[in-house]
Amino acid sequence: MSAPRREARNPESTRWADHRLTVPAVFAWGAAFVLAGLPDAAASVLIGAVACLAVSLALWRLPASSVRASAWGRLVRRARSALPTVAVCAGIGACIAAAVLVLQPLREPPLLLDETQGALSAELEVAGTPAETAHSGFGGESVTGVRFEATLHRLENTDGRSDRTSTRVLVFVDDLATADAPAIGSTIRVDARFRPTDDGSQTAWLAFAEGHPETIRPPGWQLAWAAELRTRFAEAARGLPGDGAELVPGLALGDDSLVDASLDEAMKVSGLSHLTAVSGANCAIVIAGAFLIAGFAGLRRGARLGAASAVLLLFVILVTPQPSVIRAAAMAAIVLVSIGASRSARGMPVLCLAVVSLIVTDPWLSHSFGFALSSLATAGLLLFTRPLASALSHWIPTWLAAVIAVPLAAQLACQPVLALLTPTIAPYSIPANLLAAPAAPVATVAGLLGCLVGALVPPLAVPAAWLCWLPAAWIGAVARFFAGAPGARLPWVPGLAGALLVLALTALALWVVLASRAPRIRRAAAVLLVAVVVGVYGGVLVGGTIALRLSVPQNWRIAACDIGQGDAVLVRSGDVTALIDTGPDPDALRACLERMQVAHIDLLVLTHFDLDHIGGLDAVVGRAHAVLLGPTDSRSDEAVVRRLVESGATVQQAARGDRGELGALRWDVLWPTADTTLRGNGASVTMAFSGDIDALFLGDLGESDQAQVMADNRLRPVDVVKVAHHGSGDQSAELYNRIHARAGLISVGADNDYGHPNARILEILAGAGTRVFRTDQLGLVVVSIEHGDTVVWSEKTAGAGAESLVSVPPSRLDTRTDRVRTRGYCTRRKTNGEGLDPAALLGAGAPRARRPRVWHRVVSRRTQHSAAP
């Protein structure tokens, strides 16, 4: 037998040894993912896995001589060679099923299952760093607070009944600053209401605290020491300028608490967010430093390994055990054990062993996106870096090929999961990483040194933080540059279909580039790859975007965006645009602005500072030229103002009597007065636009506030009114009768918990002769003027049926016009495909051109308007 042949069959050969644990690791992840989501199947899987393990071992122990030398015998021998892998997978499956059986009861305390709707007294141990959170409270007011992960240990109800458990929960506490939140490792007591999460989530329950938690036991000395180090370093970095200050703690310790929303978005869009997460590179730097110092100290091998292990443990405590940290630390620990045993430690076996060990210990870790991205990035680097560098070296210099191959390999491995998280492609992530990644290890080393120096000599904390600031500032500048470049975020097919499509295209691309055989087939596959990508973008995404834009009236004046429970209304005159409020979600607002082809906001109006009116601010920061806003009432409101000023906008507090022009339209502020003491809903900026279309925007005013607006202003009839407070019942019938609007826009979320729109306001609007257009039923609502008529277009039909196009008679698709008399005005409703659900049409394969587009024509004469007394 030749030497190459012997090497190929030797289980210790390089190629075989590097990948023999890959199949068990993939199997472990898949089994854990399924069983964590379906825990009731764990017992059956355990029995089946044990049986499979027993059969595999029994077949493996059969003597090879018992297999006949025939074609069937050769097939049996080949199948027999796979039995070790089958046995290992069966054993892993049995361990995972057993872990689920043991741990699942701890995730379901009887007291929680019996009383999920009531408040319970809970004793918890804080397990995660607090993060700021905000939500819309009752009535839409903005509520801020913190959230953090904790381990639930004890529950007690009002009757004295108690349960002991040990399960992970996510705690939400309102009206609590992050600086006042309990530290990691502290034991707290709090009254909370619990809600279950989805099956498979690492956190089994959500706990909504009623009041602030009480600390009953402080953290241990090691956790307190780590918290003190993190706090001091963050405070030292806080005094540094620009984006570098926000990134310094993240690059050194994985602490992104200083990173604001705009920089966080830039880091994600540019593909650099992984730099602020602790990974294997950080652990490698720490261990290398420990080995270096121990070597200089003259310690022997065992002592050096012990020192490196201790430093690794302290580092994990310092940066907190996040999923990516756990994966990196597990790999580092395996490498240290291998060194101690004088065995080689290759990348893929170490990664696979770490994944199997962690998932067997905690099967719910398989549902963690952070753990998945960390593991996939590492696998991509280990598997694809060298082959990609070799392939690229045919066209570019070897050194450049090696540099490009590193971020390219990681990006290709992670892209399917990234597409599942956010259905977009970041085309600049590779060049951004090429420019920014070299600065990351410098920032990490400098940051760690600065953290330690600041702890030992506190006066040197700020000078030490400056060591990390320069590379951090460079990374922030790179992120901002690429995030602002054209096409920084390309749309992709959403959901699981998009992730699977990315996976298939990635596998095909790797095969085309790396395979050495079948050149003709590879060329054909390359053509197919290009055709599929072009087809996806040209046929589905670009074509769909163009069709959506063309379906919207091009001469629109007012557009109520479908952004959920909140307000975001555009007003346009010529090429000048105003936006009144931003809604709760920046992504939804971005989608609306893109659809309406609005790139710049000439006038931004923030009627008040509730989250459902300012939550989408990230989408317009940097786009707005002038800003009018209501009175501020808290530090968070003032932070919004500062952010707008820093973005270059001219910011002014609105008051009655302010006026200006928006193209051919004139705007007037009717409320609040300059000396008002009101805040929140009652101080909502109320504006009137007049010109070729008259409109009134009422913010979230209540009935008493609306009465005051009528007393202070001479209201005239208008074409359009933005109904106050998403259609709440707290409204003035007199106001709506006086303005006699032909169209009433209600910006409201579907299935909201507030009962909006209220039946009372609908009756008031009907009595005033105002036609109601609701975003929860109609989606995007657009108002335009055609030949002096007010025309309202909506993207959906109200109460559409879920019929498929193939089952609808052709007559149902004919254009129809209905005429309805309402208080002297004629309302004409014209639909194409009336009564059909747009989603049903698209799902049945109907072309987008036949999607229902609903036109509501409100015909009136301005001469019929008379000034109100």
Torsion of CA 294, 299, 303, 307, to 10 degrees: -20
Cα–Cα distance measured from residue 716 to residue 869, given in angstroms and rounded to the nearest whole number? 9
Q: Which CATH architecture has domain 108-219?
A: Beta Barrel (2.40)
Half-sphere exposure of 99 (CA within 13 A, CB side): 22
777-786 mean pLDDT: 87
Query: CB atoms < 10 A from the CB of 558, how many?
Result: 26
Secondary-structure percent of the chain, ordered helix, strand, coil, rounded to 5:
55, 20, 30
DSSP state of 488: S
DSSP helix/strand/coil, 151: strand
Q: Are 860 and 850 in contact (CB under 8 A)?
A: no
Locate 681 and state its tokens.
Answer: 């809903």
Query: How many residues does this entry show for the chain?
Result: 869
Among candidates 203, 202, 150, which has minimal Cα distance to 364?
A: 202
Per-residue pLDDT at 399 exceeds 90: no
Q: Are 205 and 169 in contact (CB under 8 A)?
A: yes
DSSP state of 175: S
Higher pLDDT, 568 or 323: 568
Locate 411 and state its tokens.
Answer: 């990006």
682-695 mean pLDDT: 91
pLDDT interval class at 798 (50, 70, 90): low
pLDDT per residue as tens digits for the range 547-576: 555 567 778 899 999 998 899 999 998 888
DSSP state of 106: G
208-223 mean pLDDT: 88
Among candidates 536, 585, 313, which has minimal Cα distance to 423?
A: 536
pLDDT of residue 646: 80
pLDDT per residue as tens digits for the range 516-553: 666 667 666 666 766 766 666 655 555 555 555 556 77
CA dist 238 → 245, 266, 457, 499, 637 (Å) = 6, 20, 18, 39, 20
Contacts of 553 (CB under 8 A, 6+ apart): 782, 784, 791, 793
Lowest mean pLDDT among 195-209, 361-375, 597-611: 195-209
CA 635 to chain centre: 26
pLDDT interval class at 96 (50, 70, 90): very high
Give CATH for domain 552-864.
3.60.15.10
pLDDT of residue 69: 55
Q: Are 684 and 699 in contact (CB under 8 A)?
A: yes
pLDDT of residue 834: 34
- Could you tell me what percent of the chain has a pLDDT over 90? 18
CB burial of 637-674 (b: ≥16 within 10 Å; e: otherwise) equals: beebbebbeebebebeebbbebeeebbebebebbbbee
Per-residue pLDDT at 603 exceeds 90: yes
pLDDT of residue 99: 93
Per-residue H/E/C for 510-540: HHHHHCCCCHHHHHHHHHHHHHHHHHHHHHH
DSSP state of 40: G
Locate 414 and state its tokens.
Answer: 């992670």
Q: How many helices (H) and strands (E) does the chain have?
A: 30, 27
| Sign of the CA dihedral running 387, 392, 397, 402 | negative
229-242 mean pLDDT: 84
User: What residues does 577 pair with on adjacent strands?
Assistant: 572
Distance in angstroms between the alpha carbons of the first and the last residue of the chain = 108
Q: Which of 408-412, 540-544, 833-837 holds the top average pLDDT?
A: 408-412
Q: Which of 57-61, 554-558, 810-814 holds the top average pLDDT?
A: 554-558
Site of tokens 């691309």: 509
Cα–Cα distance measured from residue 863 to residue 423, given in angstroms and rounded to the nearest whole number? 51
Per-residue pLDDT at 661 exceeds 50: yes
850-868 mean pLDDT: 41
Biggest alpha carbon–alpha carbon distance for the chain: 108
DSSP state of 836: B
Lowest mean pLDDT among 10-24, 52-66, 341-355, 694-708: 10-24
Cα–Cα distance measured from residue 332 to residue 309, given in angstroms and rounded to the nearest whole number? 9
pLDDT of residue 539: 59
DSSP state string for 618-656: GGTTTTEEEEEE----SHHHHHHHHHHHHTT-EEEE--T
Q: Are 339 and 305 in contact (CB under 8 A)?
A: yes
Q: Are 700 and 724 in contact (CB under 8 A)?
A: yes
Q: Which helix (H) or strand (E) holds 49?
A: helix 42-60
Among candidates 97, 92, 96, 84, which has minimal Cα distance to 41?
A: 97
- Write the single-letter amino acid at 379: A
**Residue 494: cis peptide before it, omega within 30 degrees of 0:** no
Among candidates 112, 135, 107, which has minimal Cα distance to 194?
A: 112
pLDDT of residue 606: 94
- Write the single-letter amino acid at 787: H
pLDDT of residue 518: 64
pLDDT of residue 66: 54
Whole-model pTM?
0.65
582-607 mean pLDDT: 90
pLDDT of residue 811: 28
pLDDT of residue 636: 77
CA 818 to chain centre: 44
809-828 mean pLDDT: 29
| Sign of the CA dihedral running 247, 249, 250, 252 | positive
CA 103-107-111 angle, to 5 degrees, is 135
pLDDT of residue 516: 64
356-377 mean pLDDT: 91
720-747 mean pLDDT: 91
Tell me the chain's radius of gyration from C-alpha atoms: 32
Locate 155 and state its tokens.
Answer: 């529950």
Mean per-residue pLDDT over the chain, rounded: 79
CA 542 to chain centre: 23
Bridge-based pairing of strands 853-859 and 624-629 is unpaired
Lowest mean pLDDT among 89-93, 129-133, 435-439, 828-832: 828-832
Among candidates 736, 727, 745, 725, which has minimal Cα distance to 766?
A: 736
Cα–Cα distance measured from residue 429 to residue 479, given in angstroms and rounded to the nearest whole number? 9
Cα–Cα distance measured from residue 423 to residue 336, given in angstroms and rounded to the nearest whole number? 39
755-765 mean pLDDT: 89
Give the phi and the psi of residue 68 in degrees, each rounded to 5: -70, 150
In 422-518, which ranges are continuous DSSP H helix? 429-436, 439-456, 461-483, 495-514
Among candidates 166, 164, 29, 47, which has minimal Cα distance to 103?
A: 166
pLDDT of residue 30: 92
| Sign of the CA dihedral running 215, 217, 219, 221 | positive
Cα–Cα distance measured from residue 712 to residue 676, given in angstroms and rounded to the nearest whole number? 13
User: What residues does 628 pair with on adjacent strands?
Assistant: 605, 652
